[in-house]
A and B are shown apart, each in its own frame.
Chain A
Amino acid sequence: MKKSKAVRYNKWGYIFLLPFIIVYVVFQFIPMVTTIYNSFYENYMSGLTQIGPNFVGLENYQKLFTGGDIWVYAKNTMVLWIMCFIPQIFLSLLLGAWFSDTRLKLKGQRFFKTVIYMPNLIMASAFSMLFFTLFSDGGPINSLLMQIGFISEPYKFLSNTGSARGLIAFMNCLMWFGNTTILLMAGMMGIDTSLFEAAEVDGATSTQVFFKITLPLLRPILVYVMITSLIGGLQLFDVPQILTNGTGDPMRSTMTLIMFLNKHLFSKNYGMAGAVSVLLFIITAILSLIVFKVTGNDKRKG
């Protein structure tokens, strides 16, 4: 009697899952299959003539890997990610340690947390447009630097590889370090306080506590933060796209993988776009599996 009642209720599990499953299948699963399918076909516009779709097997992938462009863009993406991630994780660890340090008793924590998280919610394209105007050759930053006598003629921020990449990395770092800080802080708060107390009794300095207790115990969260940041880094698009107007200038040094994908999507070269997508999908799937393995147990426990 009891069992049949439970079964009768449990069919509602399926009913409540239905909207998710239908929408997932239509808008994510089917597109994924079409993407993979397209990657095996030659399908593009050459001038005004439509080429294909013809089945070409792995030819798109072959073209992709031997063409050389993909390596340049993969390298750009990685360089930009590293330039953004290293200062970001350093800042976040520092701030997280300060915020969660009970001996330090920092005041105004809520204010600082509010401020550092704010850039995360900013429209990346508007933020890039803002930086583009501020750092343009005749823009406010140049005129400010000239007014205080720091430079004598405008510095071309967007025409030099170093400064263009630096700006992109800086903007991304600014947008994401608050988020990382809050995640790491939540992890630090979760560490058993008796460990810190014991260390204090033993006369450990804050530096020792940080390196000997906090950091090792934080390792799973650090791995999580790093891999999710890497997945996010692979998706880098809005900022360089708007900042460089999609050209990836100077000399394609800021062209990322998703910008490359976007270019193929706009020129309707579906075969190549498919191959790039599948490549990105495989990389993110592997990275996701690592995240899943690292945090999977935690998650199921909730």
Chain B
Amino acid sequence: MANNNEVSKGMGIKTRRIIAYVVLCIITFFCLFWFYVLFINATRSNGELQAGFTLLPSSNLMTNWTNLYKGTLPILNGLFNSFVISALSAVLCVYFSTMTAYAIHAYDFRLKKFIYPFILMIMMIPTQVTALGFVRLVSNMKLEDSFIPLIVPSIAAPVTFFYMKQYMESSLPLSLIEAARIDGSGEFHTFNMIVLPLMRPAIAVQAIFTFVSSWNNYFTPALILHDDKKKTLPILIAQLRSADWLKFDMGQVYVMIAFSIFPVILVYLILSKHIVQGVALGSVKG
């Protein structure tokens, strides 16, 4: 046993390092391959796509795009709708989640002992299980085909709240708020002018997460939006899927998928450092 240990320790590090790199390269391949194929296929015409698979891009990206947005799917509307809903959700979500976290962090009130565990408890409840009531509520309020039921609920986002609360504990000293009070700053003014700027790194990370999850959301918008002009990208993609897709120009299909995926990837690559750190920060240990 001791001998065995020495052997595996002796050759260990180097061999293990090589194994690790090989495995990581394979994983990297599996993570990136699909997006590479997507990019290549988005640049090829339908005829070229039928002819088989290649690894080199062609020159039909713009043609495919022009065909797509001149076609029957309201793709530009979809892009615009997705963007508006996601951007507004992100803004409302981070602003009000920070506010909620601040209420719990900076003040002592009687119901705090009850509200804080309550928010943590509802954090895990998925939106799907209340979807039925939500759809009925939206139709009673005559808000079908409106963006309001897709934007406003993001004000109550327990996960973002929890992240903000964690961040405040590490980087928002209460003495600072005291100092602002002594200087005569009102509570609301303190929140907007002192707390929000200090929370900027956390706000940036959460704004991205909220934007992306709203951009990608398919379940809820599909239940609320019925008018073609109001639909978001995921719904249009689902429509593309349910259409008799063999009749489709496959070049257009790939361009459409690419337009739903690549903007997010681009933003992610620019901000990846903060995002990856942010994921770890929001975990159990905080």
**A residues neighboring B (CB under 8 Å):** 6, 9-17, 19-21, 23-24, 26-28, 30-35, 38, 91, 94-95, 98, 103-106, 110, 112-119, 121-134, 138, 140-141, 143-144, 147, 174, 178-179, 182-183, 185-187, 190, 203-207, 220-221, 224, 228, 231, 234-235, 237-238, 241-242, 245-246, 258, 261-262, 265-266, 270, 273-274, 277-278, 280-281, 284-285, 287-289, 291-292, 295-296, 298-300, 302
Assembled-state Cα–Cα distance A20/B158 (Å): 9
| Contact indicator B20/A104 (Cβ below 8 Å) | yes
Assembled-state Cα–Cα distance A31/B53 (Å): 49
Asked if B130 is at the interface of the complex by the 8 Å CB criterion, the answer is yes
Q: What are the 3 tightest A-B residue pairs by CB atom distance, in nearest-first order?
A: A31-B133, A13-B107, A34-B133
Q: Which of B56-64, B67-75, B116-124, B197-205 contacts A (4 or more CB under 8 A)?
A: B116-124
CB distance from A300 to the nearest CB of B (A): 8
| Contact indicator A205/B126 (Cβ below 8 Å) | no
A residues less than 8 Å from B169 (CB atoms): 302
A residues less than 8 Å from B126 (CB atoms): 231, 234-235, 280, 284
Contact with A along B187-221 (1 / 0, CB 8 A): 11001000000000000000000001001101100
B residues less than 8 Å from A20 (CB atoms): 96-97, 99-100, 119, 155-156, 161
| Contact indicator B284/A115 (Cβ below 8 Å) | no
| Contact indicator A183/B234 (Cβ below 8 Å) | no
| Contact indicator A179/B279 (Cβ below 8 Å) | yes
What 4 new A-B contacts, CB under 8 Å, besides A130-B257, A187-B285, A221-B284? A9-B181, A30-B133, A128-B241, A258-B128
Assembled-state Cα–Cα distance A115/B20 (Å): 15
Asked if B173 is at the interface of the complex by the 8 Å CB criterion, the answer is no
Asked if B176 is at the interface of the complex by the 8 Å CB criterion, the answer is no
A-B contact pairs, 5 of them (CB 8 A): A15-B103, A32-B133, A140-B53, A205-B8, A296-B120
Assembled-state Cα–Cα distance A287/B121 (Å): 11
Asked if B27 is at the interface of the complex by the 8 Å CB criterion, the answer is yes
| Contact indicator B129/A183 (Cβ below 8 Å) | no
CB distance from B55 to the nearest CB of A (A): 10
B residues less than 8 Å from A278 (CB atoms): 129
| Contact indicator A114/B27 (Cβ below 8 Å) | no
Residue of B2, B37, B117, B124 with most chain A CB atoms under a 10 A cut-off: B124
Q: A115-B31, A182-B276, A242-B241 are in contact. Are A35 and B129 (CB under 8 A)?
A: yes
Assembled-state Cα–Cα distance A132/B32 (Å): 17
| Contact indicator A38/B133 (Cβ below 8 Å) | yes
CB distance from A245 to the nearest CB of B (A): 5
CB distance from A171 to the nearest CB of B (A): 9
| Contact indicator B280/A183 (Cβ below 8 Å) | yes
Residue of B nearest to A133 (CB): B253
| Contact indicator B109/A10 (Cβ below 8 Å) | yes
Residue of A nearest to B50 (CB): A138
- Contact check: which of A203, A277, A302 meets B9 at CB < 8 Å? A203
Assembled-state Cα–Cα distance A106/B181 (Å): 49
Assembled-state Cα–Cα distance A32/B127 (Å): 10
Q: A140-B53, A298-B286 are in contact. Are A117 and B279 (CB under 8 A)?
A: yes
Q: A121-B268, A129-B241, A288-B125 are in contact. Are A237 and B155 (CB under 8 A)?
A: no
| Contact indicator B237/A126 (Cβ below 8 Å) | yes
B residues less than 8 Å from A292 (CB atoms): 120-121
| Contact indicator B103/A17 (Cβ below 8 Å) | yes
- Contact check: which of A103, A121, A179, A205 meets B265 at CB < 8 Å? A121
| Contact indicator A12/B187 (Cβ below 8 Å) | yes
A residues less than 8 Å from B175 (CB atoms): none
- Contact check: which of A12, A15, A124, A234 meets B218 at CB < 8 Å? A124
Assembled-state Cα–Cα distance A287/B13 (Å): 40
Assembled-state Cα–Cα distance A277/B126 (Å): 10
B residues less than 8 Å from A106 (CB atoms): 17, 20-21, 24
